Structure 1
Amino acid sequence: MVGQKHLAGATAVAAMFSLNGALLGMWASRIPAFKDSLGLSHAGLGLVLLFLAGGAILSFPVAGRISDRHGAAPVARWLALANAACLIGLALCPNLATLALMLFLFGASHGAMDVAMNAWAAESDRASGKTLMPVFHAIWSVGAGLGAMSGVTAVALSTSPLLQYLVAGTAVTIFSMWCAHIPWQSRTGQSQSAAMFPLPKGPLLLVGLLCFCSTLGEGAMADWSAVFLSDVTGAGEGLAASGYAAFSATMILVRLSGAFLIRVIGPVAATRISGGFALTGVVLTVSFATPSATLIGLAFLGLGYGLVVPMAFSRAANDTSLPQAQAIAQVATLSYGGMLIGPPVIGFMAAAFGLRTAFGVLALLALLTLLLATVLRPPPQ
């Protein structure tokens, strides 16, 4: 009976991760359509994506407080519905101003849900006595890949983003909410007095910085991989939309095997290997800039970015200085801040120096990942 309860809990958490990833993948796969319909330049797209980043970053500490006070599980479920509604709202925006506002709301609901579901995942790990965080993040990548593939299918069928979001987005939301609607007693009342928007300190600051290096690149892949394939390599819209799917597929692979890998070699060595894969991916993508080389490079980048975030969030959840959701939220301020700041940064750099040069900056972040790997050693108990 206990085993069945833990399985149901893990399934519910997995449903939240897959939904969160799918909604982002649906948005990311159709960015070229939004860019073309509104006539945005690289800099213009980068600017509007700042609103998505801002919404997410502002939501992190609030989500941590609410999750610790009211329970991660119910908060994650309510935020899932809000995030799905905001995705549909994006496709209804008639101009740049309304798109910016809706991106802010989409980013806020997405980021807040991310904090709550990771706190729920940490509760599931403790309840089952297993390390499933990399698997949950693998399932996030499965969702992101499927969301991106729904964009590929929609492009092939000449379907608008609105119809795609209504059909695919609603279907995956209903199924995920059904899977996640189980009795689960999250810890509540843990919220403590703290600054409204605290940055991590001490070891958690370095953990957050390590995540920043990885997730800035991950965010760049989400919002610029299709544009890079289209504008730099000359790939058609269908092939360009598949770039993020290739990236997500290798993230799935490394995250599904991540629990075994971490158990065998430890988080520090796993992080160093991740940095090497990321560096290889950047070199392949930037040096050759052909559709085939770029797709291979994106695959290597997926291998490089796959394990850093789940390892870092596990490290934060086990920190002894803060309630778990607030610790996760503090690391998320830098980590997912990197994911959401990355796209506008790439946009501004692309406008100034070209998209290939902008992508080359990711090589420096991969090198920094190698240097910061030791911060993921488990904290002293």
Structure 2
Amino acid sequence: MSFNASPDVAFGHPVSKVGARRVATVAFAAQGASVAAVYTTVPAVTERLKLAPLLTTALMVAVALMAGGGSFLGLAAIRRAGPVATMRGAMLTAVAALVLLGWVPGQAAVTCAYLLFGLAVGVLDVGVNTRAAEIERAYGRSVFGSFYTAWSVGGVVAALLTAGAARLGWPVAGSLTLQAGIVLLLTVCVRTHALPAPQGSPDAVAQLSLGRRLWVRLIPFGLVLLVVYVIESSVSAWSAVYLRQTLAASLTVAPLAYAAYQVGTVIGRTGADRLVQKLGAVALVRTAALLAAGALAALAAAPGWPFAVLAAGAVGLGASVLAPLCLASAARLRPTASEAVLARLNLFNYIGVITGGAVSGLLGSTGHFRLAYALPAALAVLLLAAARHFTQPSSSARTEGLAQKL
């Protein structure tokens, strides 16, 4: 690889794989924190504004729909300004949405705030995953898991802050403003670091046609991502409501299931990159799918909130590796157009979020929240068939990464 700049600077930015990885880690943490801040405050926002259960369900579905649109807006932004600038803009928009969610006075205004947040998350999602794919290609080995570990850590911190604020008697506006401030601080840390460009000229990359065959090859990954985000949305968007309504937990306790879920994902993702090297992607996906299915069944049958919190943690442990391995494998289908591949794959992501969020919300509003976790348990078994399509960085990619390092 060659650059039209000195060894230390490219396109006006310092060349540093380590720096780029650090910045991407910060962006993933900010995304995880903002998503957790929104989902764990749903019960409090609902009670403050006296929202009907069906309206709350509709708002969660609307967030997912806006995120799907935001994914393609993010693709356009990446092509125009690059992934780092796209991440910055999306993070600032998420900050504004968090503040609005806490302070807006009525149903129409809170609807607009949720829609704005969904748009920001969709843009940020394609931005961070595109950057992660570029960084993994530069390293020549699996590093996707480390980014999603940061996502989960951000989620844990935000969920615990929600619980702590409720314990102290803070209004939801204070909690969301605090969390918006944290995301803003993380945004300030985002800097641009140049990476080795993919093989091929920029014109060739820009003119690359993805074609129908790529859609066919994306189907197994899309199936996995769809099921993963059915699980994710069922736990993330509704676990606090499940504990509150079905298991009679307090507002202080209700966010703990989300926190436990994210703790499980932190543990799973911390070792994901090493496990890929040791066990292989296929075996790891199959093991994780079986664990997630069993834990979801336990969550559905939970006799009380302590058991539910433990089961949610086990769900996170099982589901933790599926999304990063899925996105990394899909990005390797077309390394020179990873942003376009991931934007298309995100369609399955948001279909899963919409399906999981809508079904869970509808079941919950009719008093059948336990079914909302039993159904994804059955779906998780389908992941076993798709596992054989997963790949990991090839030896040639690792050799290229070593050559760039030298």
The TM-score, its normalising length taken from structure 1, stands at: 0.92
| Aligned equivalent of 2:326 | 312
Aligned residue number for residue 187 of structure 2? 177
2:338 matched to 1:324?
A: yes
Residue 366 of structure 1: CA displacement? 0.9
Checking the alignment, whether the CA contact within 8 Å between 1:200 and 1:331 is kept in structure 2 is: no
Task: Letter of the 1:47 partner, please give it.
Answer: A
Q: Tell me the distance in 1 between the aligned counterparts of 2:242 and 2:341.
A: 35
Q: 1: distance between equivalents of 2:324 and 2:99?
A: 28
2:233 aligned residue: 219
Matched AA of 2:341: A
1:244 and 2:258 aligned: yes
Mark the runs of 5 or more structure 1 residues left unpaired by the alignment.
none
Cα distance per residue 1:316-356 (max 9 Å; x no partner): 21113871101011111112442354222211133346111
Distance of 2:258 and 2:301 partners within structure 1: 19
Paired residue for 1:91? 102
2:148 aligned with 1:161: no
2:23–2:191: 8 Å Cα contact kept in structure 1? yes
SS at match of 1:319: coil
Query: Quick one: which of 381, 388, 395 aligns to 1:367?
Result: 381
Q: What is the distance in 1 between the residues matched to 2:153 and 2:115?
A: 25
Aligned counterpart for 1:48 among listed residues 56, 59, 67:
59
Which residue of the partner structure matches residue 62 of structure 1? 73
Query: Using the alignment, how far apart are the partners of 1:4 and 1:256 within structure 2?
Result: 26
Provide closer, same or farther for how the CA distance between residues 39 and 379 of structure 1 changes in structure 2, counting only shifts above 3 A: same
2:35 matched to which residue of 1?
24
The answer for the alignment partner of 2:372 in structure 1 is 358
C-alpha deviation, 1:193, in angstroms = 8.4
2:315 equivalent among 301, 325, 345? 301
Alpha-carbon shift at residue 161 of structure 1 (Å): 2.1
Percent identity (aligned): 22
**8 A contact 2:99–2:177 mirrored in 1:** yes
Instruction: Please name the residue that 1:118 is paired with.
Output: 129
- Structure 1 residues 17 and 379: CA distance shift in structure 2, 3 A: closer
Alignment of 1:121-132 (within 5 A): 121-132=132-143
Structure 1 vs Structure 2 CA RMSD: 2.6
Instruction: Give, as a single letter, the amino acid of the residue that structure 2 aligns with 1:179.
Output: C
Matched, 1:284 2:295: no
Aligned to 1:137: 148
Deviation of the 1:219 alpha carbon = 1.3
What is the CA distance between 1:194 and its match in structure 2? 7.7
Q: 1-side partners of 2:213 and 2:41: how far apart? A: 33
Decide whether the 8 Å contact of 1:199 with 1:205 is kept in 2. Answer: no
In structure 2, runs of 5+ residues without a counterpart are: 1-6, 9-13, 397-406
Secondary structure in 2 matching 1:288: coil
CA contact (8 A) 1:214 1:365 kept: no
Give me the whole-angstrom Cα distance separating, in 2, the residues matched to 1:51 and 1:219: 13
Q: What amino acid is the match of 2:157? A: L
Kept in 1, the 8 Å contact 2:49–2:107? The answer is yes
Q: Say if 2:53 and 2:365, in contact at 8 Å, map to a contact too.
A: yes
